[in-house]
Amino acid sequence: MTVADLNIVNYCHRGCKPLLNVMRLPKAQAFALAAKMAEQNKNTTAFYRFADFQNYYPARLKTDKLLRERFIALGGKPTQQHPLSFVLNGSEYLNAWFDNGIFTKFPLSVLDEDSASFTYGDSMSTLAKRGEITMLTKSMLLKEIADFNGTLDEFLATVAEQYRYIEVQVWNDDCLGL
């Protein structure tokens, strides 16, 4: 595999519409949708956060604000307050987390430097556990891959061992044709 073969993948439960973010809704609508989805999907891992939305919502707001500020500091030009979430080259873990639902894939090449940021692991969980998060731009990530002493597959496996996946935050929907 080469860098040209890399994709970004968005996972979505089959009861949801792909390429949406509940945080982009007005607060009352977000809470209503979260309650509905949690009630309808009590045994689905992906919706545990919606069952605790009163705690999830402010934590997600804080995380997204921090991520957006970091992205801007790195030269990014986000058009959204809340990104669409993807993972680099997919994740069996997340596929199972979303009950093998819908996945949407785009080539990494659709993202430009101003449109997306990357973090090792789930941004919200990493921030909560470590109190800090490292963000990369596309060029920074590609440099880390190039500097890695091994193949691209080995790089991805090394990241997966520690973080499970590389999260991709897409801040400009137009790069995806949305």
DSSP 116: E
When mean pLDDT is compared over 2-6, 137-141, 159-163, the highest value belongs to: 137-141
**The pLDDT of residue 137:** 97
**The pLDDT of residue 160:** 93
**The pLDDT of residue 136:** 96
Query: Pick from 5, 2, 60: which is nearest to 30 by CA?
Result: 60
Q: What's the pLDDT tens digit per position in 43-89?
A: 777 777 888 999 999 999 999 999 999 999 999 999 999 999 999 99
Kindly tell me if the per-residue pLDDT of 163 is higher than 80.
yes
**The pLDDT of residue 11:** 95
**The pLDDT of residue 16:** 86
**The pLDDT of residue 41:** 82
Residue 143 has which token pair?
A: 């440099």
Residue 52 Cα distances to 35, 39, 46, 58, 130, angstroms:
9, 11, 12, 11, 21
Q: What is the largest CA-CA distance in the chain?
A: 49
Q: What's the pLDDT tens digit per position in 99-157?
A: 888 999 999 999 999 999 999 999 988 887 888 888 999 999 999 999 999 999 999 99
**What CA–CA distance (Å, rounded) separates 98 from 91?**
11
**The pLDDT of residue 128:** 79
For residue 79, count CB atoms less than 10 angstroms from its CB and return exposed for 0-12, middle for 13-18, buried for 19 or more: exposed
CB-based contacts of 140, cutoff 8 Å, min separation 6: 74, 118
